[in-house]
Chains A and B, each alone.
Chain A
Amino acid sequence: MIDRFLRWRHARTALQIPPFLLGVAMIVHGLFGPQLAPRNLATLLTWVHYRGALVLVLLAGGNLFCMACPFMLPRELARRFFKPVLRWPRRLRNKWLSIVLFALVLFSYERFDLWSSPWWTAWLILGYFGAALVVDALFQKASFCKWVCPIGQFNFVASTVSPLEVKVRDTDVCATCTTLDCIRGNEEQRGCELALFQPRKEGNLDCTFCLDCVHACPHDNVGVLTRVPASELWSDARRSGVGFLSKRKDLSALVLVFTFGALLNAFGMVSPVYAVQAWLARVLGTTSETPVLGTLFFALLVVEPALLVGLAAWLSRRGSKSPGPLLPFAMKFTYALVPLGFGVWLAHYGFHLFTGLLTFVPVAQEALGFAPRWDLVGLPVRLVYPLEIGFLGLGLLGSLLVAWKIAEREAPNRTPAAFVPWAGLCLLLGGAALWLLSQPMEMRGSFLGSLGS
């Protein structure tokens, strides 16, 4: 039944309509509803349910949230009337812009306490709809998804550990295909707008699960199929629309921001961050949160990864006697950090989702004028904590496995020597994450108030 549904050419639109309606409801409630975050659908559904469901679906399925992305609906509608004529600038055909935007979202979340502001959250959603519409109204193909969208980049990286992939069923069928509809499209169905040519596509990077290739293939030879999660991370074959992972500095940087951003985002929720912020404020001689947070972000998203990954790469290259410069060698191994980073995101967002699972019920009841059941909450923290540890452990094991496979590939004769420094880095980051998860949580935006205390 799922197979039949996915083959239906309006499947994606059908999947997009419920999130679109939900998005409209969140915007309306965020702008005009109660401005208390726990009682507003915009903040509650965005920062608790959407994020939690996103990572769980990525773990259990694949990039299904991009598949059902509501931001694409107005864009599809607009493209019925306007045909974009511009091509995305060549200099921007990489992930650097989206990395900056990803970091900016993480920074804004902390700086402006987005979780506590329904109004700003509503504007963030509206801004997202607007940005997707404007970018894709001006530029051809799926420029917004591939080069701009920070959520999309998060999903692309996280979906490398997903068990589902859009791929070719039988490569022999592709070998005899002359029309290449999956990439070129045909009169009824466009081809892949993200430049992923199915026979040479490998993995989930840059794939939005839009199903265009599934519907375009005249041989019914493309589908959503199962695969070994994370296996694409240790492959360095040339990929259509992506190239070689080992040669993509931007993708390596995206993986680092994804992994260290997970730790930073979790760090923002625990008590010690306020002591660090207060200390930084004293050192910098400021009472403004922006320079303090900016310094913290620079230290944890740029300096720390550069030092730790640089050290691991240096030790690994030296131990394995691998030739060549350090940076390309380091880039090859950075992909090993993805499962661990994903495990941290999963633990963090899973915590919020499970502990607040049912809170949407009373908020929706109140929004619709019914008597709210405020006693409906979620699982107790003591039950969720083991789940968090499980997610983290799963991520750590995955990272160790990927690091070993990459070490095997890069240093077949000295695999353990190449592996050990990266294993050490994974254990160090895993230990840091474990420490973060065991800290008392402290959900606070009152930075200035904390300085005096």
Chain B
Amino acid sequence: MHLRHPPGGGRGLSGVRRVALAVSGAVLLLAAGCRQPSDAPEISLRWTAQPQPLTTGPMTLSLELSDSQRPVTGAEVRLEGTMTHPGMAPVQAPAAEVSPGRYVGRLDLSMAGDWVLLVDARLRDGRILHRQIELPGVRPGG
């Protein structure tokens, strides 16, 4: 087998170093961006979804947020529905507080399959809540 480059030259090694440097930079940058978002684990979240079974089209998600069994009021809640397959358009909607600690949002599930709902909330005291709700097997609508 013939080597592509004559052995012994210093140019190849400097090229390798450059690549290694670039790779290290990319890894560090990404590692910095891979930090998980902060959460408020003490907040309890209960949810129900309608209709059942879930089908494509409009769906309503009701959330109950509580902290030590006391309703969490005045939070800004946003919902985002995304499929488990990458590259699909996410659907987003706010959830409005309809009674103390109870928030309701409507989403339009555009395709049958497995969905994940991301719940992002900013509480009145500034705490941030991120939760993930799995909705497997959404059926095609009628």
- Residue ranges of A at the interface with B (Cβ–Cβ < 8 Å): 9, 17, 20-21, 24-25, 28-29, 32-34, 36-40, 43-44, 47-49, 73, 76-77, 79-80, 83-84, 113, 115-116, 140-141, 185-191, 193, 212, 271, 352-353, 355-356, 359, 366-369, 374, 377-378, 440-446, 449-450, 453
Contacts and interface: CB of A to CB of B under 8 A. Distances in A.
B126 interface: no
A383 to B, nearest CB: 13
Given A443-B114, A444-B114, 4 more contacts: A32-B31, A47-B87, A355-B87, A356-B86
Given A21-B26, A185-B2, A356-B88, A36 B132 contact: yes
A446 B12 CA distance: 50
Given A29-B30, A367-B33, A374 B4 contact: no
B112 A444 contact: yes
A421 to B, nearest CB: 36
Contacts of B88: 38, 355-356, 443
Interface in B1-50: 1-7, 12, 16, 19, 22-23, 26-27, 29-34, 36
Nearest to B132: A36
Contacts of A140: 1
Nearest to B29: A368
A356 B87 CA distance: 4
B66 interface: no
A190 B2 CA distance: 5
Contacts of B85: 37-38, 47, 115-116, 443
Nearest to B111: A441
Given A28-B27, A28-B34, A186 B2 contact: yes
Interface string B38-65: 0000000000000001001000000000
A79 B12 CA distance: 13
B12 A366 contact: no
A104 B32 CA distance: 35
A352 B87 contact: yes
Given A271-B112, A352-B87, A441-B112, A368 B33 contact: yes
Nearest to B32: A369
Contact of A453 (B3, B116, B118, B139): B139
20 contacts: A24-B27, A28-B26, A28-B27, A28-B31, A34-B34, A36-B132, A47-B87, A76-B4, A77-B16, A115-B84, A188-B5, A189-B2, A193-B1, A271-B140, A368-B30, A374-B92, A440-B140, A441-B111, A443-B111, A444-B84
Nearest to B12: A80
The residue among B23, B33, B34, B113 with the most chain A CB atoms within 10 A of its own CB is B33
